[in-house]
Structure 1
Amino acid sequence: MKLILRAFDLKLKHTFTISRESIDIQPSLIVELKDGEFSGFGEATSNPYYNITIPKMTSELETLRSVIESSSDETPEIFWNKIHPSLQNNLFALCALDMAYTDLYARKKGKKLYDLWHYNTDKNPLTNYTIGIDTIPKMVAKMNELPWPIYKIKLGTPEDIAIVKELRKHSDAIFRIDANCGWGVDETISNAIALQKLGVEFLEQPLKADNWEGHSEVFKKSVLPIIADESCIIEEDVAKCHNHFHGINIKLVKCGGLTPARRMIQEAKKLGLKTMVGCMTESSVGISAIAHLLPQLDYVDMDGPLLLAKDIAEGVRIENGQIYYTDIDGTGVLLNESL
């Protein structure tokens, strides 16, 4: 098996702003594992909040090249358990590797990933489309540019309620709100009342990640469901979210890939938590992997390719929130030949 690493700068259609940063370019690392005629692909993006860079991921994967390339036919679970101790401090790199290995494993079996996992895709949830923080006219323009059944709206400004009131005038879509740790306890409880009246479905991570006392108070008093994101990184965090959140948003790069994400989903279901998987503005490589988890999810945020000026791969197709799989085995991804 051969390890191939490629770095890309994904240019966005629009400046993307959340409560703590703005970006125009999203650096991304693509991992390819090639075994004979078969190739599997994985992806992880850089992230300053988690101190993750492309050089850092590349360097740590290079140190494991001999171990990785000597692997062959073990299951993705065995492979993940073997690699995890060496990459437990860089789960983004582990995610890209796990994704590529799982994709390769399914392709060698001649199966789409959801078939390998025995998932039924008949009732997949729709994905939202994200509107980053901007001036109200520009946020409205982004909605008009791509009419969609569900919008995730990034907030964390002094004018949050005014923003949603104005956006509501221009769309009957479901609204989801992501404050990215930008609110306080009282602010969240108050905002939830106003936002419920504006047709908001849930609030994602309103408080800072480690404010567990605050999470508990909001959980008890909010009129809207609260979904954990920054408070739910790895498998051990799922149990912590019980009685603090109504659901969890799993990011593959943050938890270390598809293998632990599937375990987190099952644990969440046992605890009565809603399940969601989100993205980090990945290309169709990472997004196509998320698509195979859809049968296990209540909500999904996999709009990454829709935010890009140009995709680097072909994979699942997204139309009006609906996900359509390709005819290719594994995750169904092909890198664009022109790259």
Structure 2
Amino acid sequence: MQVTLKKYVLELKHTFSISRESHDFQDSLVVGLTLNGKTGYGEATANPYYKITVASMMEEIKSIEYEINNFELGNPEDFHAFLKERGLSNFAICALDLAAHDLYGKLKEKPLYKLWGTSNKNYPITNYTIGIDTIDKMVEKVIEKPWPLYKIKLGTNNDLEIIKELRKHTNATFRIDANNAWTPEQTLELAPQLKKLGVEFLEQPLHAENIEGYKAIIDKCPLPIIADESCIVEDDVEKCAGLFTGINIKLTKCGGLTPALRMIKKAKSLNMKVMVGCMTESTVGISAIAQLLPQLDYVDMDGAMLLKHDIASGVKILEGGEVVFPSINGSGVTLL
């Protein structure tokens, strides 16, 4: 295989804010793997919370570039195991793993969801994310982008007021992501009121390390609780059982589609709901997530919808949430 690396700076339509950070641009690494005239593409975004930069990912991959170029791709799982053995970060592994899956599907002349024995006839629709802002700005964003399902980022001093005001402007279902910002007491106080306001579930309301807090609220909270920062890698899935209703898998954090498929299987065996989320990726990363749709209960794959300009074609999300899968195989990605 021949590996290529390219950095992109993705400009967002709006400043994106959560409880711990804000940004207007998202640095992203796109990896290409070429074999027999076909090229597969994968993506991983930089993340200051996890101390990951595009430069650091490039350095990791370049350190084993010779080995990658000489690797015989039998299947993506073997390639992923090879990358793990080389000690790369999960973010760098994700970009390479997504590229390997896309390439593998293109070589096999099938979309990934078909290679996995699933059908794309039924799938959950993605939410559209509204980042933290002034209440007026958050209302403007909802009005600007009518959507049947919103994820609302919270973690402010007026969280309930925000939801009450947004509810005046839409009948859409709400999901709440507090990004570790609440206490157990806040969660139990807010949850009944939020449920009455049409909230579907709470994502990571408490800090990931607050195990005792999650033990205290899981049976008392009237809303389902989904793990995000508490479920990063495969070993975390079983740890979340009994503390959370479900898990949110991020491909960049766990290391790509290969471990994500195992995490989905494990979570289902534990009777947990399964969601896959995004990290403001372009259509490169979103198209990989879309291949998992038939296996999911929930999905957050609006990353490319939040960008001013996309960098690739692949899966398209129409108004209202319908997904159009590309005719190209693999993940169906082509760089623009």
Shorter-chain-normalised TM-score: which range?
A: over 0.9
Q: Deviations over 1:69-116 (max 9, x none)?
A: 11123111111111112235x100000000001110110011111111
Code of the residue aligned with 1:9 in structure 2: it is V
Instruction: State how far apart, in whole Å, the 1-side matches of 2:237 and 2:153 are.
Output: 24
Question: Which position in structure 2 is the counterpart of 1:60?
Answer: 60
Identity of aligned residues (%): 57
Quick check: 1:87–1:94 contact (8 Å CA) kept in 2? no
Question: Which position in structure 1 is the counterpart of 2:258?
Answer: 259
| RMSD between aligned residues | 0.7
TM-score, normalised via structure 1 length: 0.98
Range with greater deviation from structure 2 (18-27 or 66-75): 66-75
Question: Which position in structure 2 is the counterpart of 1:213?
Answer: 212
Superposition pairs for residues 171-182 of structure 1, below 5 Å? 171-182=170-181
Quick check: 1:41–1:100 contact (8 Å CA) kept in 2? yes
Q: Deviations over 1:141-186 (max 9, x none)?
A: 1111110010000000010000000000000000000000010110
Instruction: State how far apart, in whole Å, the 1-side matches of 2:282 and 2:15 are.
Output: 16
Structure 1 residue 220 displacement after superposition: 1.6
Structure 1 residue 218 displacement after superposition: 1.5
- SS of 2:218's partner is helix
- 1:304 aligned to 2:303? yes
Quick check: 2:130–2:153 contact (8 Å CA) kept in 1? yes
Question: Which position in structure 1 is the counterpart of 2:13?
Answer: 13
- 1:163 aligned to 2:162? yes
Question: Which position in structure 1 is the counterpart of 2:22?
Answer: 22
Instruction: State how far apart, in whole Å, the 2-side matches of 1:322 and 1:303 are.
Output: 12
Structure 1 residue 326 displacement after superposition: 0.7
Range with greater deviation from structure 2 (270-279 or 209-218): 209-218
Structure 1 residue 324 displacement after superposition: 1.1
Range with greater deviation from structure 2 (116-125 or 12-21): 116-125
- SS of 2:219's partner is helix
Question: Which position in structure 1 is the counterpart of 2:188?
Answer: 189
Instruction: State how far apart, in whole Å, the 2-side matches of 1:321 and 1:181 are.
Output: 28
Question: Which position in structure 2 is the counterpart of 1:322?
Answer: 322
Code of the residue aligned with 1:14 in structure 2: it is H
TM-score, normalised via structure 2 length: 0.99
Quick check: 1:87–1:93 contact (8 Å CA) kept in 2? no
Q: Deviations over 1:208-266 (max 9, x none)?
A: 11111111112121110000000000000000000000000000000000000000000
Instruction: State how far apart, in whole Å, the 2-side matches of 1:218 and 1:62 are.
Output: 46
- 1:236 aligned to 2:240? no
Question: Which position in structure 2 is the counterpart of 1:140?
Answer: 139
Instruction: State how far apart, in whole Å, the 1-side matches of 2:103 and 2:35 are.
Output: 8
Instruction: State how far apart, in whole Å, the 1-side matches of 2:87 and 2:259 are.
Output: 14
**What are the ranges of 5 or more consecutive residues in structure 1 without an aligned counterpart?**
none
**What are the ranges of 5 or more consecutive residues in structure 2 without an aligned counterpart?**
none
Quick check: 1:209–1:231 contact (8 Å CA) kept in 2? yes
Range with greater deviation from structure 2 (277-286 or 137-146): 137-146
Code of the residue aligned with 2:67 in structure 1: it is V
Instruction: State how far apart, in whole Å, the 2-side matches of 1:218 and 1:260 are.
Output: 29
Question: Which position in structure 1 is the counterpart of 2:331?
Answer: 331
- SS of 1:92's partner is helix
- Displaced runs of 4 or more, over 2 A: none
Question: Which position in structure 2 is the counterpart of 1:2?
Answer: 2
Equivalent residue pairs, number:
335
Superposition pairs for residues 266-305 of structure 1, below 5 Å? 266-305=265-304
Quick check: 1:45–1:282 contact (8 Å CA) kept in 2? yes
Instruction: State how far apart, in whole Å, the 2-side matches of 1:220 and 1:67 are.
Output: 50
Question: Which position in structure 2 is the counterpart of 1:73?
Answer: 73
Superposition pairs for residues 23-172 of structure 1, below 5 Å? 23-88=23-88, 90-172=89-171
